[in-house]
Amino acid sequence: MTRVTADIAVSVDGFSAGPHQSEENPLGESAQSALHSWMFDHADDHREELDAILEGRAYVMGRNMFGPIRGEWTGDWRGWWGPEPPYHGPVFVLTHHPRESVEMDGGTTFHFVTDGPEAALERARDAAGDGIVSIAGGADTLNQFLARGLIDELRLHIAPVTLGLNGRTDVVRLFDGVPPLALDPVRVRSTPHVTHVTYRLT
């Protein structure tokens, strides 16, 4: 049976992005360097974890992770990653607004799913066959899958910072609105830049 994994980088206080996401600030204000320096500035020290993030045969992500556009689709936005995104497979983007699939170089095709997380996961499972389906984020999307019990393995990449966003209504914190979960820790690895924790959901 297809295994469903999820990876997300978070602050110690549980945020994966800051407010005011834009093309200039993909993760919102103050979040990009704070949460992802381990990924971009110290990649060699975290090669195993980075490889695992991209081991999926199919992916699901939220619209906010795909881009900063809200409401109806406008222009020809094709994602943050340039002409050859790192996924090299089908990516199912959750959205309320229909759009034709976008085929990119290197094997990535973005498909836009308007009928909810379960439908996106079903399509991703069909595409992945016996491979892994990866839930790529962000926090709101991940919370929807966690609340529905649809994730087998959760990998948190915890940056040693807090973002101090408690109480704001324009950002989403991981586990907000998620019922109690039984998490079985199966792996922990720490460097000065991040702590990687893998949980199996039971």
Q: Give residue-wise pLDDT tens across range 14-26.
A: 999 988 888 888 8
The pLDDT of residue 27: 87
Classify domain 4-68+129-201 at the CATH topology level.
Answer: Dihydrofolate Reductase, subunit A (3.40.430)
**What is d(CA 153, CA 177) in angstroms, rounded to the nearest whole number?**
19
List the domain boundaries for the chain. 4-68+129-201
pLDDT confidence bin for 118, thresholds 50/70/90: very high
Q: How large a percentage of the chain has pLDDT more than 70?
A: 100
Phi-psi region of 107 (alpha: psi -120 to 50; beta: other; left: phi over 0): left
What is the chain's mean pLDDT, rounded?
Answer: 95
**Angle at CA 171, nearest 5°, toward 168 and 161?**
90
Which residues make Cβ contacts (< 8 Å) with residue 63, sequence separation at least 6? 93, 94, 95, 96
Q: Give residue-wise pLDDT tens across range 134-166.
A: 999 999 999 999 999 999 999 999 999 999 998
